[in-house]
Structure 1
Amino acid sequence: MSEREPTTALVERLREAYGDGLRAVATYDREGYTVHYRDAAVTAAYDDPDLDAIYEDVVLGDVNRGFEETLFDDLGDVEGKLRLFADGTVAHFWPRSDDAGVLVAFDGSVDVAVRTLHGIVGEHYG
């Protein structure tokens, strides 16, 4: 990996892999979030209060998911979650710890290979 900021390299790698189907890339920790990339559709559809709500509900809700790990304990720790919508996919990974992670959104044209995407995120945040 180059000496570039990990998020810059991650956005470049995701754009290379998924092209115009990439909608947004954000990182977060318990203190807040940073949007590193968003396309015109995301910019038009989501204002700051919407992004705050996504962080508070989706991201923090996923992190507080210990019960799922007990249900599927033979599979190991939960490292992410994928949400499939009619017109898009949202992937959320926390490869370093429960306190920080990456949220990646795609439009419906992208066939997200989950393990491949997890590997790309892990290259930069693993």
Structure 2
Amino acid sequence: MRAVRTRSQERILNLLKSIKQGISAQDIYVELRNRNQSMGLATVYRSLESLKLEGLVQVRTLGNGEALYNLAQQDKHHLTCLQCGASIPINQCPVHDLEGQLQSTHKFKIFYHTLEFFGLCTQCQLAQTAD
């Protein structure tokens, strides 16, 4: 059964469909204002939380603490540099089999998963050795 969504939630979903990349709650707020679909920042956060609990939106927290939201269409995997903040998407996923096992053994409905490795990119490694 589909949950009844508020107008704010529908506006956020439509925005995320058109953006196709991670975006912060503050940027969602600004973008909606630019599209003459204003809502309060607190409403943006509440709507994102509801959509996340429904499994429609996923959140990815960067090394600097910023949260990026996007549609929960596929699993996301990244290499993230702790020095410069560069984030490199990776396509391999070693945990898909584990996900299926966990759903089965724990009777747990998994909407999506993220996998993120933190370290130093090539440029930051070179800069460290140059010092």
TM-score (normalised: structure 2): 0.28
More strand by share: 1
Larger Rg: 2
Compute the TM-score of the two structures, normalised by the length of structure 1: 0.29
